Amino acid sequence: MIKLKNLLKEYIDLSDPVNDVRDHFEKFSKALDQKAGGSFDADSGEYVGFEGGDDKLYAKRYKKMSDWEKKVKKTLEGLMKDDVKVWK
């Protein structure tokens, strides 16, 4: 059974789902800023052995982050294709 509130939204404004997606992106962006697990700077002490860091850590993180970025890009491209299908 469809809730009355959802039923009314469906007939009032088609842009609600799009606005919800934008809200999801905003929350995702804020979470990215809050959950960074280390420095983005290659010359940070955590990546420099003589400062007590790990000389190989930056390369490991860069590889993992690059793989993650490709996954995000592929996912977003798929979502855009789905959006195009909605309008057909």
**46-77 pLDDT, tens digit each:** 888 888 888 899 999 999 999 999 999 999 99
Q: What separation in angstroms does the CA of 56 have from each of 36, 42, 62, 85?
A: 18, 11, 10, 44
Q: Does residue 1 carry a pLDDT above 60? A: no
Nearest in space to 42 (alpha carbons), one of 24, 25, 55? 55
pLDDT at 5: 67
Q: Does residue 84 carry a pLDDT above 70? A: yes
Domains of the chain by residue range: 1-35, 38-88
pLDDT at 6: 67
Q: Which residues contact 46 (CB under 8 A, 6 or more apart)?
A: 38, 39, 53, 54, 57
Query: How many residues are recorded in the chain?
Result: 88
